[in-house]
Each structure stands twice: as C-alpha cells, then as structure tokens.
Amino acid sequence: MNVNELTMGEIDEVETYAGVPLSSLASTETSNTKLLIGLAFVIKRKEDPKFSLEHAKRLTMDEITAMLEDDDTDPKVK
C-alpha cells in the first residue's frame, strides 16, 4: 500500500489515534507502535469495512510491514 493513496480523512484518523503526525513515522526517536496500528487499521478497512482497531492490534510486525511494503507501483517501470 502506498501511503500517498490514503485520504486526508484516513491520515487524520491515524494521527488522531497515534497522537503524533504521520511524518513522525520516519523518526527513530519516537515509538511508532500506534502509528503502525493506525495505518494497518485504515489500510485493511479499505478491504474489509468490518476490520477494527482491535483486529489491527492483533497483527504481527511482519504482517504490518508486509502491508506497508505491498506497493504495486515501481517508479522505474514508467
């Protein structure tokens, strides 16, 4: 999933849940757990409207990482 494909409303949901801006995901000085849970929630909810924050909290780090790396766009292919 390309994070740039999230709507402003979805980004707002993630930031509200995490209590920090999405841009802090790149920071190594803060905990990103809530950002990752929030991202997993909004991304998976696009596929399954019944997907909840509780479901997102049960995902493993490998599952969330795979979800964020699952970007079909390759800028070199254009």
pLDDT (tens digit per residue) in 21-45? 998 888 877 778 999 999 999 999 9
Cα 68 → chain centroid: 7
pTM of the model: 0.79
Q: What is the pLDDT of residues 45-72, one digit of tens each?
A: 999 999 999 999 999 999 998 988 875 5
The CA–CA distances, whole Å, from 20 to 25, 33, 41, 59, 72 equal 9, 11, 16, 21, 27
Domain coordinates of the chain in residue numbers? 3-22+29-71
